[in-house]
Structure 1
Amino acid sequence: MGAYEEKKEACGTVCLKYLLFTFNFLFWLAGGVVMAVGVWTLVEKSNYISLLPSKTYAASAYILVLAGAIVMVTGVLGCCATFKEQRKLLGVYFVLLLCIFLLEILAGVLAYIYYQQLNDELKQNLKATMINKYRQSDENEHITKAVDELQQEFKCCGSNNSTDWVESEWIRSADSKGRKVPDSCCKTEIDLCGQRDHPSNIYKVEGGCISKLEKFILEHLKIIGAVGIGIACVQVSVYIFLQLKEVFSKHNNLCYLPSLWSADYWNGVYMLPIPKSEGRAILKECG
């Protein structure tokens, strides 16, 4: 009977270890997804970030990249901690999980806050950026490139409409060579096509580029917020699972591997490694 109980306990330990290993492997994969979303946000249409006066949008993406990298490191560390059962390693694992949780919540909150203020910010700043900085100096070359890409990609012209370009410092200068709008406003972009602003030649989009850029950024913000808060919720769910598992284990009078967040672990009641018998780790009865 004793041998049967020992075998049963050892089996429970092994099953729990592989369960935690599987969780950490999935956690590592999730880290890759989080980091990929952050990198995708920064790389795809990265020029548009220069058109935004606030750095909140970029900050949310950078936070996701950082969180994703930490998640991947934590996943590997968790796999090692599961099998080596080193107290210090588990402590580092816990601290990293806490950092990840806070970073992901922060990214989600920043994305939500910026979501609320984006429309007003674009209305106040996009037009001013276009008319004052477009083709004004080498320092603003990235803005010029962003505006041209924006107008061609989204088939729009001007912040609100094509008449916004009448106020442009560049359009008023001799450098424009008589253009009424930049060539990037043309449906078929060729040199000096902006000299003719007839509707058959120039994009006439209701709401101008503001509505197009706002829609684009909002879609990205939704993804950033959903990924950040979603992964954080998964972590909370895992924490609850581990607590329920511990309660269930104690109820069955068996000391399975204590949860990292449990008072028992930090008070050192169950010290690892567990004594071994016949080369296999065994568990003692509680009490």
Structure 2
Amino acid sequence: MGAREEKKETCGTICLKYLLITFNVLFWLAGGVVMAVGVWTLVEKSDYISLLPSMTYAASAYILVLAGAIVMVTGILGCCATFKEQRRLLRVYFVLLLFIFLLEILAGVLAYIYYRQLNEELKQNLRETMIQKYEQTTHEHVTSAVDKLQQEFKCCGSNNSSDWAKSVWIRSSDGNGRVVPDSCCKTPSELCGRGGHPSNIYKVEGGCISKLEKFIQDHLKIIGAVGVGIACVQIIGMVFTCCLYCRLKSEPY
């Protein structure tokens, strides 16, 4: 009876080991996805980040990159700890899982908070950034970001094209008689911004604010969903780890 009980416990331990190994392989792959989302946000859309006065959007992406890198290392550690059946390694693995869990929840919470305050922040700052910093020698990154924004989203100005009438650059001699930047033109060319007719420039309802807001909100949803989704999956890994640790602790060696 005792031998049968011991064998039953061993089978349970083996099942847990295989479950935990499978989880770690999937977890490692998920870490790559998390890191890829964070890197893509920072690299591919870095121009738009420069138009935002708050670093919350960028911080969420940085947290995902960090969490993804730790996830991949943790996945390998988890496999080693499971294969070797070392309780000390399992403890370290559990602590790392908990740390990553908190990081990803933080990324999700930051994304949600920024999602709620984004509209007001853009209204207060995007227009001023455009009219004060566009084509200024110390703000080349803003000029590049605004040009990319207007061309990619087919918009002109913060709220509408008339915003550019107050631009420091447009009102100066450097503007060369333009009423809007050349990036507002439907077919960009040198000095095409001199013509303000709707047939020449983009006249979008809501201007670039509405376009940029929707774009960032969509990406915040992705960041939040990835962070919270992976964090929820980790709960399964922590449960498996606790079960395996308790079984190894109770089994005789």
Q: TM-score, normalised by structure 2?
A: 0.93
Q: Give the corresponding residue for 1:205.
A: 204
Q: Give the corresponding residue for 1:180.
A: 179
CA distance in 2, matches of 1:12, 1:233: 24
Aligned pairs for 1:68-217 (under 5 A) are 68-137=68-137, 139-217=138-216
CA distance in 2, matches of 1:92, 1:3: 32
In the TM superposition, what is the alpha-carbon distance from 1:270 to its structure 2 partner? 3.4
Unaligned runs of 5+ in 1: 247-256, 276-287
In the TM superposition, what is the alpha-carbon distance from 1:236 to its structure 2 partner? 2.2
CA distance in 2, matches of 1:70, 1:270: 30
CA distance in 1, matches of 2:105, 2:92: 20
In the TM superposition, what is the alpha-carbon distance from 1:45 to its structure 2 partner? 2.0
In the TM superposition, what is the alpha-carbon distance from 1:14 to its structure 2 partner? 2.5
- Structure of larger gyration radius: 1
Partners of 2:159 and 2:207 within 8 A in 1: yes
RMSD over aligned Cα atoms: 2.0
Count of matched residue pairs = 253
Residues 48-85 of structure 1: per-residue CA shift (max 9 Å, x gap): 00000000000000000100111111100000000112
Quote the sequence identity (%).
77
In the TM superposition, what is the alpha-carbon distance from 1:3 to its structure 2 partner? 6.6
After the TM superposition, which of the residue ranges 226-235 and 177-186 deviates more from structure 2?
226-235
CA distance in 1, matches of 2:48, 2:238: 39
Greater relative contact order, per chain length (Cα 8 Å cut-off, separation 6+)? 2
Q: TM-score, normalised by structure 1?
A: 0.83
CA distance in 1, matches of 2:188, 2:235: 52
CA distance in 2, matches of 1:210, 1:57: 16
CA distance in 1, matches of 2:159, 2:141: 21
Unaligned runs of 5+ in 2: none
CA distance in 1, matches of 2:110, 2:199: 42
CA distance in 2, matches of 1:10, 1:91: 20
Letter in 2 for 1:15: C
CA distance in 1, matches of 2:9, 2:97: 29
Please state whether the residue corresponding to 2:14 is helix, strand or coil.
helix
Partners of 2:20 and 2:240 within 8 A in 1: no
In the TM superposition, what is the alpha-carbon distance from 1:46 to its structure 2 partner? 1.2
Please state whether the residue corresponding to 2:169 is helix, strand or coil.
helix
Q: Give the corresponding residue for 1:27.
A: 27
Q: Give the corresponding residue for 2:13.
A: 13
Q: Does 1:48 align with 2:48?
A: yes
Aligned pairs for 1:179-258 (under 5 A) are 179-240=178-239, 246=243, 257-258=244-245
CA distance in 2, matches of 1:237, 1:82: 15
In the TM superposition, what is the alpha-carbon distance from 1:12 to its structure 2 partner? 3.3
In the TM superposition, what is the alpha-carbon distance from 1:15 to its structure 2 partner? 2.5
Distance 1:65 1:270, change over 3 A: same
Distance 1:236 1:2, change over 3 A: closer
In the TM superposition, what is the alpha-carbon distance from 1:2 to its structure 2 partner? 7.0
CA distance in 1, matches of 2:60, 2:44: 15
